[in-house]
A and B are shown apart, each in its own frame.
Chain A
Amino acid sequence: MIPGQKQLSNLEELLEGIWKQNPVFVMVLGMCPVLAVSVSAVNALSMGLATLFVLLGSTLLVSLLRNVVPREVRIATYILIIATFVTVVDYLIQAISLAVYDALGAFIQLIVVNCVILGRAEAHASKNPPGRALLNALGMGVGFAIGLFAIGAVREILGAGKLFGFALFGPDFQPWVIMVLPPGGFFVLGAWLLLFNWLNSRKAAPVKPVEGHAHV
């Protein structure tokens, strides 16, 4: 990401997106699909896979074309490439499972404007050879899918008492309906971020009490 950064090994490049620069939890990018379709684990996972596909395809193409595309029109070119792959994935999902297609609706086409993909194209794929770019995109895509799944699973468990459609609790379970409604998306993502903040702050300052120095 930062120019002049030292060269990462292949494994580090892959892990970058999954953990250190996770697009959902660390960079907080591509929030629209994350919150809108994460009402259930299945939806979240299919969205994650669709995004991964578009990310890999567009990264490969952007990286191959990186010396051909003039700087002035690069963003427009990237968007067109991404839109092409999204159209492909749109028809693909329609062919594979109509149920999933109906559940995700317009949000499949909205993958075009997912900042994660354009961000990868601009920040990484346009500066690196195809191999490394693909590795990085794979990490990012998997990281994104994991993030989506983490939110979708929590929302489905709390909001419907199920995971992948199987009831987890007895018949007495009272579903926390708000969690599958829009506010739940914000709350669950917020809670995940809180958890990560808390973990990081513990790692950074193991001795200092956290509340001692609030910002004003």
Chain B
Amino acid sequence: MSEPLSSIFISTLLANNLVLAMFLGLCPFLGVSARLNTALPMGAASTFVMLVASLCAFGLNWLVTTFNLEFLRLISYIVIIASAVQLVEMVLKKYSPVLFRALGIYLPLITTNCAVLGVALFQTARDYDFLQSVTFAVAGGAGFTLALLLMAGLRERLNLAIVPNVVQGTALSLMLAGLLSLAFMGFAGLGAGE
């Protein structure tokens, strides 16, 4: 299957948004989205890891299929992602210690961000070629960042609202995410579908 790049981009960014339509990367989505100024760096870091992971996954996939080692695919992907995260962590620690502290535990947790592994797995499952994989990864990262930013903006406003005690916390965030997801369904049909 060969979809045009633009359709992959639009569909992954909006119609099949990783977070709001595919439920990938929900942990950081609910965890880091409390404030706008941490949401953007988190999104950027994840996007970078996604891109690196996608590139490596492309190479690895070629390697494991050539040598008939498909059963090693998952394991090699996860190792690559873990190393990429380590790299981002070291760079951030060196150049922006403040940001490093602000992201805290969520930075190493990018390793277990389903969105990153999801991108690698989906591109393999859909037989994307090199350019398609890169587009997919960038669009996925952008979509993740977009969802994170929207959510953070909404939650900052919600801090000022008076909400009954029972609804506070995760339940409220989930309802909010549901509404956002509902809004994103309006994009369905843009680009290529599933």
User: Is the beta-carbon distance between B114 and A110 smaller than 8 angstroms?
Assistant: yes
Q: A104-133 CB contact bits vs B (8 Å, 1 = yes)?
A: 011001101111001000000000000000
Q: Contact check: which of A84, A115, A182, A216 meets B112 at CB < 8 Å?
A: A115
Q: Which chain B residue lies CB-closest to A214?
A: B162
Is A165 engaged at the interface, CB distance under 8 Å to the other chain? Answer: no
Max count, chain A CB within 10 A of own CB: residue among B167, B169, B174:
B174
Is A10 engaged at the interface, CB distance under 8 Å to the other chain? Answer: no
Is A60 engaged at the interface, CB distance under 8 Å to the other chain? Answer: no
Q: Which chain B residue lies CB-closest to A25?
A: B170
Task: Tell me the chain B residues, 146-164 only, with Cβ under 8 Å from chain A.
Answer: 162-164
Cβ-Cβ contact count across A and B, 8 Å cutoff? 130
Q: Contact check: which of A32, A84, A106 meets B26 at CB < 8 Å?
A: A32
User: Is the beta-carbon distance between B167 and A197 smaller than 8 angstroms?
Assistant: yes
* Interface residue tally for chain B (C-beta within 8 Å): 46
User: Is the beta-carbon distance between B166 and A210 smaller than 8 angstroms?
Assistant: yes
Q: Which chain B residue lies CB-closest to A184?
A: B178
Please judge, given known A-B contacts A31-B27, A79-B78, A79-B111, whether A211 and B164 are in contact too, CB under 8 Å. yes
Is B49 engaged at the interface, CB distance under 8 Å to the other chain? Answer: no
User: Is the beta-carbon distance between B71 and A91 smaller than 8 angstroms?
Assistant: yes
Is A56 engaged at the interface, CB distance under 8 Å to the other chain? Answer: no
Majority DSSP secondary structure for residues of B touching A: helix
A residues in contact with B113, CB < 8 Å: 113
Is A47 engaged at the interface, CB distance under 8 Å to the other chain? Answer: no
B residues apposed to A, CB below 8 Å? 20-27, 30, 71, 74-75, 78-79, 82, 108-109, 111-114, 116-118, 121-122, 125, 162-172, 174-175, 177-179, 181-182, 185
A residues apposed to B, CB below 8 Å? 28-29, 31-32, 35-36, 75-76, 79-80, 83-84, 86-87, 90-91, 105-106, 109-110, 112-115, 118, 178, 181-187, 189-191, 193-194, 197-198, 201, 210-211, 213-216
